[in-house]
Structure 1
Amino acid sequence: MSPFLVVARPHRLIAAALVFCLAAAPGLLRAQTAAATAASASTPPRAIRRDVPITNTIRRAYAAGTRDSTGRPGRSYWQLRTDYAIDVSLDPATSRLTGKARITVHNSSPDQLRDIGLRLDPNHFLGNAPHAAPWVPAEVTDGMVISRMTIDGKPVNLASNAVPAGDGGSGARAIVAAQQNAANAPSGEAVLRNGRSTSASVRLGTPIAAGANAVLEIEWSHKLPGGPGTGHRMVQRWADTLYQPTQWYPRVAVYDDLRGWDNELYVGPSEFYNNFGTFDVNIDVPAGWIVSGTGVLKNPDQVLTAAARERLAKVSQSDAVTTIVGPDEIGPGQATATGNANGRLVWRFHADTVNDFAWATAKKYVWNATRATIPGKGAIPVHMLFLPGRANLFAKAGEISRHALEFYSKLWFPYQFPQLTLQDGPSSGMEYPMVINSNSGAADHETGHQWWPMVVSNNETWYGWMDEGFNQYMNILSDADAASKAPVFDGLGQNYGRTSGAEAEPPMMWNANYAGPGFYGFTTYQKTPLMLSALGGIVGDSAVQRAHREWAQAWMFKHPSPWDYMFFMNKALGRDLSWFWNSWLFTTESVDGRLASVKTQGIRTTVTVAQDGNMPSPIVLDVKFAAKGPAIRLMRNAVMLDSLTARVTWPVDVWFNGSRTFTADLVFGGRKIEQITLDPARRSPDRNPADNVWPAAAPPGSSPTK
């Protein structure tokens, strides 16, 4: 998902998100530095934690062998699979979806399942559902109304989903009564619980044994909301001529080895955690309406015109953009086939091993297509569907999406799906398997989500930084490649120092549903590139990307946790970085380094480096010499960057004794040192970079000394 409704290119996103970090007045920074200097004299030694906190959930997974301390899936790793067969019909007159789903639940766990968790996200639009600011639903609806449910052919008690008469399903007393009815249902009867919530469950009369399957059948309907909502997914239609359904069908929740059933509420900004499975979806719409969606269209002969099918067959032959249905081809017999006796068409889609299904339909979509050439796979189609008056927003969408698909395929692993579709509509920055609700603006970012969470499928609600943050990082690489430039990560890590310490900021390991006021976007999206910038400053950017690639390939179509990522990266990079992960992910600390003093005696220059924050960091000094003088004799921990500049490093270990200052002796054979710069690549979080250079720059407005 893009963090903004109107999306700029990724490097602008990061710049925009950091504006608040850079707004501190110079006077305030000088005051903070003075306070830090005074405090350091009386502050006790740093208590630097050098391990990764292990929670009960990950500890149990290690004991069960489902995950491994190397960061790889354990010998006993398992995950549920859910296969969907769905028939859904859209009625534009009422903006209502009516559907029935047959969901096969494959219990691959070692546990006997006494419940089935359900995600009923349309209940977000009930008047009493909790929402996270500033996500505002477009309208209040009656939520997901379930009319029939069976488990292995036996009926499920639906008391908790009953819609109270006259109040659209939002009457508190009626809902409490429905819940009580469900609670009092006879033992042995399957019962839907919390049916008016986004997180519901079915109490099973007969548990699903380990290794067994069960078939859940559900019939439902709900209205697609339209109107002046704010936030992604809060508006799902424009009037009654374009629909962009998202989270539109009853989904079986994830049951995993960490927490069992995922029962987090859907409150708006934080996103999803879904099972993988097969989808066969039949979408019934008026003839003349074009439908796009996840998966491959299985009945083009029945829904497309002969002309459209002929044009579609040529898409893979070149990078040119081909018009499949033009702006003047409108209605049955022109945009689509003529339809059945009721004036409708059923579009049939099939998708293998995906974790969601999204679609869109409009009365007057223009349909363009181009191709991307995936390494090791060949050409795949890239579809673009948009309203005629919005063609300018899609002018470069094919080119951007092609580059993203090809670039990320080389960077991580080949794109795993048979096509990609860009869908126009009210949500202009959202992602699903094989589908991005996006125009040119967010095309690169949303395409990146086809790697995570669509293949490497983390829990986005808890740890959004593992998909949104990773995506923001790799968007920098893609942006630079598209411009034929080298990516720039210098400065990103340093910028976190201006944010660190804000009371409202949660750690990255905090559940994203409960992020501090105004910090959801920063913690979920922008902080990860800063963290990986800092890591690149320690091990090298190419090493970070190589290790990340290996991690991604190890967890394809699985559910990695943050611990799997941290420990895998440690192993792949060949060093224990637990101190780094602890500081960046579990705290909101910073380094706050500075050059406390520089003294020269003979051929020795003694530099006192201070770190006033609680996050440790390696010491990196750039030493610039005078143009003339004795020969420069290189220290063992130094390299020459050019004929007059040496880079000297000390490992982070020098701080592990708890000290806040370190004495760095520079002995280069007597050549005069003209300048010393701490953290020259600006990778470590620092509140005031001005005190990282010796000699210090003169204060603004001061007169030169005579």
Structure 2
Amino acid sequence: GATGVPVDGDPGWESALAAGTINDRRDAYADRAAEPMGLLDRAPESGRKRVRWRAEDVIHFAWSADPEFVYEGGMWRDIPVHVLYQRAAAAEWGNGVALQRTYDAMEWTDTIFGRYVYPQITNLHRIEPGGTEFPMLIMDGSASQGLIVHEILHQYAHAILANNEWREGWLDEGLASFLTTWYAEAQGEPGVWDRSLEAARTRERMLQTQPIATPGAEFVDFATYQAMTYTKPSLVFRMLREMLGEPTMRQVLRTYHEQNTLQHVTEQDFRAAVNQVTGRDYGWFFDQWLHTRNRLDYGIADARTRQLADGRWSTRVEVLRLGQAWMPVELQVGETLRTLDSREQRQAVELVTRERPREAMLDPRSVLLDMDPTTHRAAIR
């Protein structure tokens, strides 16, 4: 399997076919003659073969060959899907399992970004754990749905939307991590954000952070690089989704794709899509979360209630902003929910409820990357 389509020679799929159909799309670039490369002019030696692949509009490429590969193939809409796995992994990958999971990943990603513009997609079993991505080719250490979704998302976030991963790794790895967890959330999996939130909050409390926008080579160690490139950006994208609303966030992602397909992209392109779709300038959000180490820290200082003459209850909650960062924050008192958007370090809020409330709570859906959520709840006196 490889980036591109085979234009000369036999990739060996037919002899390895275990299930499905083969569509090699050799005609994908038929209207453009191949450029002579001046390499491998002689015929292959006995016992060897030559296969030539062609790809256009790609930022890098890869190929993999193994006589033990088993092939399964099919079509997702009009896109050929190739699955290659080690014979010993047939129980996990075979019988259409990995093929269907690749279809599902392509379908989900299409709902997020829009049209897939390459002529094929290959899901290939690699011998190491984890995964990696190349245009038209993903290499997965397992056939887990989450891993396949993550690597398919990179067909957009890094291949079709080609950021410089060494300078702005968060723009593909952070975005793909966010969307992978969003996929799990959409499937009804519980607590999908909890582990990332706890890991990121621990680093915030221990001051083990650097700005997300730090170039890759400038992180102090690999663990910090991973946390600032994968985990924290995924939570920042989630905060953006919750602040804008899911329909608006979907439109942002589609606009980002439509306006930058097969182009090199930077933070400014994503910012532009957000501002265009919302009609507002969200520079403060990106400046704060990508370019500073400012920490978010809200807490409830006091909460007390009194009964009104009409039988309802008026509750006064004093909210503190202890960190340098700011975000709109939800306050729940009883069944009443209000979004607070003051940037003041201390604010008093009054809410009226029918029943006597027992507790006041900030960020009840646990969306914010707040370093200390233990101060978000208070019994009402």
TM range (shorter): 0.7 to 0.9
**Quick one: which of 279, 284, 288 aligns to 1:583?**
288
Is 1:616–2:326 an aligned residue pair?
yes
CA contact (8 A) 2:210 2:228 kept: yes
**Quick one: which of 256, 273, 294 aligns to 2:3?**
294
User: Which residue of 1 is the match for residue 317 of structure 2?
Assistant: 607
CA contact (8 A) 2:6 2:53 kept: yes
CA contact (8 A) 2:171 2:267 kept: yes
Paired with 2:332 and 2:195, the residues of 1 have a C-alpha distance of: 19
User: Which residue of 2 is the match for residue 398 of structure 1?
Assistant: 99
Amino acid at match of 1:405: M
Spell out, residue by residue over 1:251-304, the C-alpha distance to the aligned partner (whole angstroms, 9 max, x if none).
xxxxxxxxxxxxxxxxxxxxxxxxxxxxxxxxxxxxxxxxx211111235x565
**Superposed, which structure 2 residues align to 1:409-420 within 5 Å?**
409-420=110-121
**Quick one: which of 512, 532, 537 aligns to 2:237?**
532
Larger radius of gyration: 1
**Superposed, which structure 2 residues align to 1:71-86 within 5 Å?**
none
Spell out, residue by residue over 1:207-261, the C-alpha distance to the aligned partner (whole angstroms, 9 max, x if none).
xxxxxxxxxxxxxxxxxxxxxxxxxxxxxxxxxxxxxxxxxxxxxxxxxxxxxxx
**Quick one: which of 121, 131, 143 aligns to 1:440?**
143
Paired with 1:473 and 1:406, the residues of 2 have a C-alpha distance of: 17
Is 1:647–2:337 an aligned residue pair?
yes
Question: 1:523 Cα shift?
Answer: 1.0
Is 1:673–2:357 an aligned residue pair?
yes
Spell out, residue by residue over 1:24-68, the C-alpha distance to the aligned partner (whole angstroms, 9 max, x if none).
xxxxxxxxxxxxxxxxxxxxxxxxxxxxxxxxxxxxxxxxxxxxx
Paired with 1:667 and 1:675, the residues of 2 have a C-alpha distance of: 13
Question: 1:493 Cα shift?
Answer: 8.5
User: Which residue of 2 is the match for residue 314 of structure 1?
Assistant: 21
Paired with 1:540 and 1:650, the residues of 2 have a C-alpha distance of: 16
Amino acid at match of 1:363: P
CA contact (8 A) 1:489 1:533 kept: no
Spell out, residue by residue over 1:170-197, the C-alpha distance to the aligned partner (whole angstroms, 9 max, x if none).
xxxxxxxxxxxxxxxxxxxxxxxxxxxx
Is 1:381–2:66 an aligned residue pair?
no
**Quick one: which of 339, 345, 354 aligns to 1:660?**
345
Question: 1:549 Cα shift?
Answer: 1.8
Q: Quickly say closer, same or farther: Cα 1:523–1:559, change in 2 above 3 A.
A: same
Question: 1:465 Cα shift?
Answer: 0.7
Paired with 2:59 and 2:12, the residues of 1 have a C-alpha distance of: 27
Paired with 2:283 and 2:194, the residues of 1 have a C-alpha distance of: 23
Secondary structure at the counterpart of residue 263 of structure 2: coil
Amino acid at match of 1:351: A
Secondary structure at the counterpart of residue 295 of structure 2: coil
TM-score, reference length from structure 2: 0.82
Question: 1:393 Cα shift?
Answer: 4.2
RMSD: 2.9
Paired with 1:499 and 1:535, the residues of 2 have a C-alpha distance of: 21
Spell out, residue by residue over 1:356-408, the C-alpha distance to the aligned partner (whole angstroms, 9 max, x if none).
221011233222223322xxxx2x22222233223234233212111111221
Is 1:472–2:177 an aligned residue pair?
yes
Q: Quickly say closer, same or farther: Cα 1:430–1:494, change in 2 above 3 A.
A: closer
Paired with 2:21 and 2:306, the residues of 1 have a C-alpha distance of: 76
Question: 1:671 Cα shift?
Answer: 4.6
CA contact (8 A) 2:359 2:380 kept: no
CA contact (8 A) 1:369 1:384 kept: yes
**Quick one: which of 209, 218, 238 aligns to 1:514?**
218
Amino acid at match of 2:329: I
Paired with 2:279 and 2:108, the residues of 1 have a C-alpha distance of: 27
Question: 1:352 Cα shift?
Answer: 2.1
Secondary structure at the counterpart of residue 82 of structure 2: strand
Q: Quickly say closer, same or farther: Cα 1:459–1:310, change in 2 above 3 A.
A: closer
Amino acid at match of 1:411: I
Paired with 2:260 and 2:62, the residues of 1 have a C-alpha distance of: 24
TM-score, reference length from structure 1: 0.46
Aligned residues, how many?
Answer: 349
CA contact (8 A) 1:294 1:435 kept: yes
Paired with 1:660 and 1:593, the residues of 2 have a C-alpha distance of: 9
Paired with 1:506 and 1:308, the residues of 2 have a C-alpha distance of: 51
Task: Name the one with the larger helix percent.
Answer: 2
Amino acid at match of 2:284: W
Secondary structure at the counterpart of residue 361 of structure 2: strand
Secondary structure at the counterpart of residue 123 of structure 2: strand
Paired with 1:480 and 1:661, the residues of 2 have a C-alpha distance of: 34
**Quick one: which of 683, 694, 697 aligns to 2:367?**
683
**Superposed, which structure 2 residues align to 1:151-170 within 5 Å?**
none
Is 1:562–2:267 an aligned residue pair?
yes
Paired with 2:375 and 2:12, the residues of 1 have a C-alpha distance of: 67
CA contact (8 A) 1:591 1:616 kept: yes
Q: Structure 2: which 5+ residue stretches go unaligned?
A: 24-42, 309-313
Question: 1:566 Cα shift?
Answer: 2.1
Paired with 2:324 and 2:195, the residues of 1 have a C-alpha distance of: 19
Structure of greater relative contact order (alpha carbons < 8 Å, 6+ residues apart): 1
